[in-house]
Amino acid sequence: MKKPELLCTAANLDELVKVIEAGADAVSIGHERYGLRVAGNFEVEEIRKATEAAHARGAKVYVSVNALFHNDDLEGLPEYLKTLEEIGVDAIVFGDTAVVMIARQIGLKVPLHWNAEVLTTNYETMNYWGRKGATRAFVARELNMDAIVEIKENAEVEIQVQVHGITCIFHSRRDLVTNYEKFMGQEPKPASMDRKLFITEEKRDDLQYPIFEDRNGTHIMSAEDICILEYLDELMDAEIDSFKIEGIMKDTDYNVKVVSAYRRAIDAYAEGPEAFLNNIGNLMEEIRAIQPSHRELTTGFFFKEQVY
């Protein structure tokens, strides 16, 4: 059986090495100047060191360049893409057409992975981008299992699915937290991930939606974490190419243990259904034991009927 790639985010070089040693085949990194919701800001020299460290361990490095670029943001982008190619990163993740256009203009040879968040909902659009140079597409988190399987059956590119972690439910270019604090007469502070801010609903104050700001604006994240560990067999039967663990807003110890559990689940099912069934209960208990008490584990939209 073909094993899918196991991909995890990394906030720094130390975490990158540890998640690879825990079983990740590839690591996603970036810098907020060019990427949306990256786990940590890797400067160019840090990307070089990360790529060397990953390659020395037989793993790949993907760099997120999936920001929504305004005119002023394009300055320096061609040079950045050229530098990533020179460093030897294994793929560049894009969402904005500008990246493809610039890649063509400068003759970039690095593989491109299309991740446009909510836009990646059908195989025709994914195949369109495949013909424009993309080698992989990341399916939207709002798709159910049937839709994902249908996409894989008809896709001309590799398919990547998020199997674990937090998701973004709202993004605005505006600094909503800063503006709110000013309106309330407070002295605004940097609303980074480190502040651990969250918002709640009036009638559901038990749910905490993390919120933070960076140079790309405001991001509101889900109150729950996706966990598809128990159903990896279905995704592996569908021959999904890459499973992504989203590790932002989690510490290294948590991410390492999650990667390890998914690694063992993948390897068990590759060995056979019986091995998977014999191990999956214990692996789920490992995940539940480290899951923050205020964040429920759910299967997201994987088994929800889509109503349009």
* 3-class DSSP assignment, residue 201: strand
- 303 is a domain residue: no
Strands (E), the chain: 5-9, 26-30, 60-65, 91-94, 112-114, 134-138, 158-165, 168-172, 198-201, 204-214, 217-221, 225-227, 242-246, 297-298
- 297 is a domain residue: no
What pLDDT is recorded for position 54?
A: 98
Cα(145)–Cα(281) distance, rounded to whole angstroms? Answer: 21
Q: For residues 15 and 254, is the Cβ–Cβ distance under 8 A?
A: no
Q: Can you give the residue range of the structural domain that contains 138?
A: 5-166+230-274
What pLDDT is recorded for position 284?
A: 98
What pLDDT is recorded for position 306?
A: 55
Domains identified in the chain, total number: 1
What pLDDT is recorded for position 55?
A: 98
Phi/psi for 107 (5° steps) reads 70, 35
- 198 is a domain residue: no
- 292 is a domain residue: no
- Please, what are the averages of pLDDT over each run of 10 residues along the chain (308 residues)? 95 98 98 95 98 98 95 95 98 96 96 89 95 95 94 97 96 90 85 90 87 93 96 97 97 98 98 95 98 94 71
> Looking at residue 157, which CATH number applies to its domain?
3.20.20.70
What pTM does this model have? 0.94
> Is beta strand 242-246 parallel, antiparallel or unpaired with respect to 225-227?
unpaired
Residues in the chain: 308
User: In Å, what is the CA distance from 119 to each residue of 101, 135, 236, 257?
Assistant: 19, 17, 24, 31
Closest to 92 measured CA to CA, from 66, 63, 68, 61: 63
Q: For residues 130 and 153, is the Cβ–Cβ distance under 8 A?
A: no
Q: How many CB atoms lie within 10 A of CB 152?
A: 19
- 64 is a domain residue: yes
